[in-house]
Amino acid sequence: MDSHNQLFILLCVSLLLLSGQMGLQVEAGRHHLHHPSRELFIFGDSYVDTGNTPKSQAGSWKQPYGITFPRKPAGRFSDGRVLSDFIAKTLGLRSPIPYKFRKIVPKHYLKYGMNFAYGGTGVFDTSTSGPNMTAQIDSFNQLIQENVYTPSDLSKSIAYVSVSGNDYNFYLATNGSLPGFPSFIASVVKQTTADLIHLQSIGFKRIVVGALQPLGCLPLATAQTSFQSCNSTFNDLVTLHNNLLNQSVTKLNQESNDHNTFTILDLFDGFRTVLNNPSSHNIKERLKPCCFGVSSEYNCGSVDENNVKKYLVCENPESTFFWDRLHPTQAGWNAVYSELEKKDLYKLLY
């Protein structure tokens, strides 16, 4: 990103702050104040981005994103809170500040950690100009060089790594060969593994990586069946990804001094459990997204040259699992997260 861009971002951010639009979560954590020194660092993509993607590039800064929380667009790719907000809450922390805002927020916000995630990115370069995983980790490393964070901060902290499929979307868009998929999956998992090792070498003792969610159930994939059924071809590929990731992480732990540095947050299981039994979470709309373009050339948030809306929004995002073509609603995340909590999420993060 060049300095002109950074200046532009800074300007946008200043304006935002003035108009009080930042969706900072202030209420989380009231009940868990007994772990004040622990910090959360987030790396990855739109499933955890809370505002790094610039306004000029992201739908997440447009209406109707953020209508549930914070009731206006604030850079989250949902109607409300996203996965990283829920993880922070479990840890009793304020959702960590987006890297982009680090120089303009009150300094004490930095003690909750930082969020480096950037919508659209992957472990490799994708179509977005956002920093890939390597570059995000390098930004973090730079802050250590600058003593913003110290190695002793890190020994108690948690790194969460979100790899939600942008590499695969980019692969489909640019190559698309189904026979070529398995070897590409192996290379994505290999690069993810290198990123995990990199985080460990920087000093993290707890590193959590998300399993890939069932991509074949995302509205992007189910649109061809009018949102009736998941695409099993894609879900089989996801299973391959997750199995390779499991093998890789198991091996990393065997090779580490402390045998449980690395853990996998099983988002696949979380999504599947909720989608198999949505009514137990008061979800009525299972696969059809809440917000979608009026035709296939438009997305949630699209407007035409006259600023006329080219999307529709459902009435009840709180009973709809998916927000847009790729992302769950806050209610969707809440349901997935509560399933993960049932399966000892707490232990996994501690």
Ligand X SMILES: *[C@@H]1O[C@H](CO)[C@@H](O)[C@H](O)[C@H]1NC(C)=O
User: What residues are annotated to the active site?
Assistant: 46, 324, 327
Q: Does 135 bind ligand X (CB under 6 A)?
A: yes
- By beta-carbon proximity to ligand X, the closer residue of 124 and 298 is 124
Query: Residue 4 CB, nearest distance to ligand X (Å)?
Result: 17
139 binds ligand X (CB under 6 A): no
Q: How many amino acids of this chain bind ligand X (CB under 6 A)?
A: 19
- DSSP type of residue 263: E
State the minimum distance, in angstroms, from the CB of residue 33 to ligand X: 30
Q: Residue 211 carries which DSSP code?
A: P
Is 246 among the residues that bind ligand X (CB under 6 A)? yes
Q: Minimum CB separation from ligand X for residue 40, in Å?
A: 20
Token pair, residue 321, equals: 């699992």
Q: Within positions 250 to 279, which residues make up the interface with ligand X, using CB under 6 A?
A: 250, 264
Adjacent-strand bridge partners of 265: 210
**Residue (57 or 246) nearer to ligand X, CB:** 246
The CA dihedral of 120, 287, 294, 174, to the nearest 10 degrees, is 40
Measure the CA–CA gap between 37 and 168, rounded to whole angstroms. 37
> Toward ligand X, which CB reaches closer, 106 or 179?
179
CA angle 135–204–111, rounded 5-degree value: 85
Residue of 290, 267, 298, 314 lying closest to 47 (CA atoms): 267
| Smallest separation, CB 26 to ligand X (Å) | 33
Return phi, psi of residue 309, to 5°.
-60, 135
Using CB under 6 A as the binding rule, the residues of this chain from 164 to 223 that contact ligand X are 175, 177, 179-180, 184, 191
Q: Is 232 in the site for ligand X (CB under 6 A)?
A: yes
Structure tokens given for 131:
């920093």
Q: What is the DSSP letter of 262?
A: E
Q: Using the CB atoms, write b or e for 33-48: b if 16+ within 10 Å.
A: eeeeebbbbbbbbbbb
Q: Does 142 bind ligand X (CB under 6 A)?
A: no
> Is the CB of 152 or the CB of 247 nearer to ligand X?
247
Q: How far is the CB of 71 from ligand X (least distance, A)?
A: 35
Q: Quick one: which of 191, 151, 138 has its CA closest to 168?
A: 191
Residue (of 170, 166, 263, 271) closest to 213 by Cα position:
271
Q: Which is nearer to ligand X, 25 or 46 (CB)?
A: 46
Considering the rule CB under 6 A, would residue 296 count as an interface residue with ligand X? no
- Positions touching ligand X (CB under 6 A) are 124-125, 132, 134-135, 175, 177, 179-180, 184, 191, 231-234, 246, 249-250, 264
